[in-house]
Amino acid sequence: EIVLTQSPGTLSLSPGERATLSCRASQSVSSSYLAWYQHKPGQAPRLLIYGASSRATGIPGRFSGSESGTDFTLTISGLEPEDFAVYFCQQYGNSPWTFGQGTKVEI
Amino acid sequence: QLQLQESGPGLVKPSETLSLTCTVSGGSISSTRHYWGWIRQPPGKGLEWIGSIYYSGSTYYNPSLKSRLTISVDTSKNQFSLNLNSVTASDTAVYYCARVEGEAPPDYWGQGILVTVSS
């Protein structure tokens, strides 16, 4: 199965700053089927990005995704107070679907 | 607005069966465009895809859990269920249900339910 390794584990930033989160796959992800989610305690995960770079419905433009081979990046350009949360990546191109360990973005 | 809600016991004894139900509201579980999945997250660990089911009853199970797992659907109640037998402490996790559309990732998730395996 594909192992997804996210880094860093924790990112300490201030509102307005740019956040860059990494997700590295152990092998090629079929069809660039890589998603990013935002997760806050006690809430349902929120889909942000699918297909490595497409924003999900209703997601603000400050969230963007990119890929380079087996390296995937989520960028949040200008952190808003509500963006402080855990972010995890998921590949859904190869069975079984797998997830990264998550990156916590904290103030 | 589609909503998914997990329900079931929060405590299960070792060697017994963990049973959870996901109730879908604001949409039909019989949609031909969607299928329905279970995911879990043990404390301090990453998420794990458990398996999924289509309204017709067609299933996919994660090979790591396949021997202990049954996922079923009840279209009359707009629910789908998870049964995991012979549980151990390593099955302690927050369990989520989610909706999947076509070849997209899960787009709607429940809030999750913590299930602890302990005597």
pLDDT tens string A1-39: 999 999 999 999 999 999 999 999 999 999 899 999 999
Query: Residue B103 has what pLDDT?
Result: 87
* Closest CA relative to residue B41, chosen from A39, A63, A47, A19: A39
Residues of B in contact with A90 (CB under 8 A): 47, 105-106
Which of the two residues, A42 and B22, has the higher pLDDT score? B22
Distance CA(B52)–CA(B43), nearest Å, equals: 22
For chains A and B, count residue pairs whose Cβ atoms are closer than 8 Å.
47
Distance CA(B28)–CA(A101), nearest Å, equals: 32
Residues of A in contact with B104 (CB under 8 A): 50, 92
B76 contacts: CB under 8 Å, gap ≥ 6 = none
A24 contacts: CB under 8 Å, gap ≥ 6 = A4, A5, A6, A7, A70, A71, A72
* Mean pLDDT score across all residues of chain B: 96
Write out pLDDT tens, residues B68-107.
999 999 999 999 999 999 999 999 999 999 999 988 999 9
DSSP 8-state class, residue B106: P
Q: Look at residue B35 and tell me whether its pLDDT is greater than 90.
A: yes
Q: Look at residue A51 and tell me whether its pLDDT is greater than 90.
A: yes
Residue A73 banded pLDDT, cuts 50, 70, 90: very high
